[in-house]
């Protein structure tokens, strides 16, 4: 059976980008067609300046939201990365296969490191090595597929390279995974700055729709989205990123095609109004289920406890095999 792994980083409140680019597909399709694992990758949240209490809080919230989007713990495995030691164990071994040049070429590293430096902060070493830990997350489970948004495609490519290199040098150990992306909304853009991705750790609040935003907040944010002075409405992400972003969001929420949808509008006002309403409807059940789960925290704890147990049992044989293959003496 196909094995799927994907994760979500508790670095901020989850956004419409996370939902349309990744989470929605995990719940609607991936968990039903494969042996799927979904992980709150909390170790990755330590790669930038962080508040420990906030990371803990956001990790719980991310786990609840994963369940609220429809992941069924009877069907798939939902867990927290730091609860399974195999991720960190394998990451070190993969660091012995990766090169520092490879790490420095990663776009997310370059962008985030530049942002940290601009703020006058220092860049954590873990930010540089984060893609190796992500490779470990994936390879530990022998995942065949990694459903992600566009921004993570380069990291999955690196994971493939590391798996192939390890297998060639030390003998076949890892499954070589491939990234899968959604047909639309693979990169939801910031509504106030459609040249930038809608990222959860960005500070530009009005351009980011959060999964737990109240309907009137969603409506206000979408109605204020930056468009352009063009008269016609077309889907052209390069030349017309603002309208294209709205069309992608509308298409993702309605199952339509952004190019065809563009033909049905003659004003930005109508496009924004329809987009706001479909987003509100798409998020409504998620917010409702999340509220129910908040009232029953023991349920989420139990899901995460069982998930970690299952994940540990799946990861251990592969990680042990990697330790043996690379030349480490098994425990005596």
Q: Which residues are catalytic?
A: 112, 197, 200
- Kindly state the smallest distance separating residue 202's Cβ from ligand AQP, in Å: 6
User: What is the Cα–Cα distance from 204 to 113, expressed in whole angstroms?
Assistant: 18
Position 18 contacts ligand AQP (CB under 6 A): yes
Distance of CA 157 to the CA centre of its chain: 15
Position 200 contacts ligand AQP (CB under 6 A): yes
Stretch that binds ligand AQP, among 12-20, 49-57, 241-249, 257-265 (CB under 6 A): 12-20
Q: Which of residues 285-324 bind ligand AQP (CB under 6 A)?
A: none
Going by C-beta distance under 8 Å and a sequence separation of 6 or more, which residues neighbour residue 176? 160, 163, 164, 167
Cα–Cα distances in angstroms (integers) from residue 68 to residues 72, 98, 291, in the given order: 9, 37, 9
Position 82 contacts ligand AQP (CB under 6 A): no
Position 127 contacts ligand AQP (CB under 6 A): no
Which residue is at the shortest CB distance from ligand AQP? 21
Stretch that binds ligand AQP, among 16-24, 125-133, 266-274, 309-317 (CB under 6 A): 16-24
Q: What are phi and psi of 179, to 5 degrees?
A: -80, 145
| 12/177 with CB nearer ligand AQP | 12
State the CB neighbour count (10 A cutoff) for residue 150.
Answer: 15
H-run or E-run covering 35 = strand 35-40
- Kindly state the smallest distance separating residue 323's Cβ from ligand AQP, in Å: 27
State the CB neighbour count (10 A cutoff) for residue 309.
Answer: 14
State the CB neighbour count (10 A cutoff) for residue 124.
Answer: 17
β-bridge pairing 3-8 and 35-40: parallel
Stretch that binds ligand AQP, among 198-206, 216-224, 292-300, 313-321 (CB under 6 A): 198-206
Task: For residue 29, give both structure tokens.
Answer: 């399709």
Cα–Cα distances in angstroms (integers) from residue 295 to residues 12, 63, 291, in the given order: 21, 14, 7
Per-residue contact string for residues 129-148; x = within reach of ligand AQP by CB under 6 A = -------------------x
Position 152 contacts ligand AQP (CB under 6 A): yes
Q: Are 94 and 323 in contact (CB under 8 A)?
A: no
Q: Please state the residue numbers annotated as binding site.
A: 9-11, 17-18, 137, 149-151, 188, 197-201
Interface residues toward ligand AQP, by CB under 6 A = 8-9, 11-12, 15, 17-18, 21-22, 148-149, 151-152, 186-188, 197-201
Q: Which residues are annotated as a binding site for ATP?
A: 9-11, 17-18, 149-151, 188, 197-201
């Amino acid at each position: 059976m196909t094995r799927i792994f994907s994760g979500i980083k508790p670095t901020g409140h989850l956004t419409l980008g996370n939902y349309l680019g990744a989470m929605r597909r995990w719940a609607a399709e991936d968990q039903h067609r494969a042996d799927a694992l979904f992980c709150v990758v909390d170790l990755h949240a330590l790669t930038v300046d962080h508040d420990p209490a906030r990371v803990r809080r956001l990790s719980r919230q991310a786990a609840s939201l994963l369940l609220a989007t429809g992941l069924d713990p009877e069907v798939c495995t939902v867990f927290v990365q730091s609860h399974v030691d195999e991720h960190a164990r394998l990451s070190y071994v993969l660091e012995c296969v990766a090169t520092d040049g490879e790490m420095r070429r990663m776009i997310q590293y370059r962008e985030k490191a530049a942002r940290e430096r601009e703020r006058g902060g220092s860049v954590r070493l873990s930010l540089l090595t984060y893609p190796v830990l992500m490779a470990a997350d994936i390879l530990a489970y022998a995942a065949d597929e990694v459903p992600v948004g566009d921004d993570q495609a380069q990291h999955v490519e690196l994971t493939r390279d590391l798996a192939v290199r390890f297998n060639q040098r030390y003998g076949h150990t890892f499954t070589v995974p491939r990234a899968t992306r959604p047909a639309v909304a693979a990169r939801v853009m910031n509504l106030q700055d459609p040249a930038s991705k809608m990222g959860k750790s960005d500070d530009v609040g009005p351009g980011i729709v959060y999964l737990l935003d109240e309907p009137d907040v969603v409506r206000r944010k979408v109605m204020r989205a930056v468009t352009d002075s063009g008269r016609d409405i077309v889907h052209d992400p390069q030349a017309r990123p603002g309208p294209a972003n709205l069309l992608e969001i509308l298409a993702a929420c309605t199952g339509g095609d952004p190019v065809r949808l563009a033909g049905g509008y003659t004003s930005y006002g109508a496009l924004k109004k329809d987009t706001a309403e479909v987003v509100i409807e798409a998020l409504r059940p998620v917010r409702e289920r999340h509220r129910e789960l908040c009232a029953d925290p023991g349920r989420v704890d139990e899901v995460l406890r069982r998930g970690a147990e299952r994940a540990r049992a799946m990861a251990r044989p592969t990680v042990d095999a990697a330790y043996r293959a690379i030349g480490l003496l098994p425990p005596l």
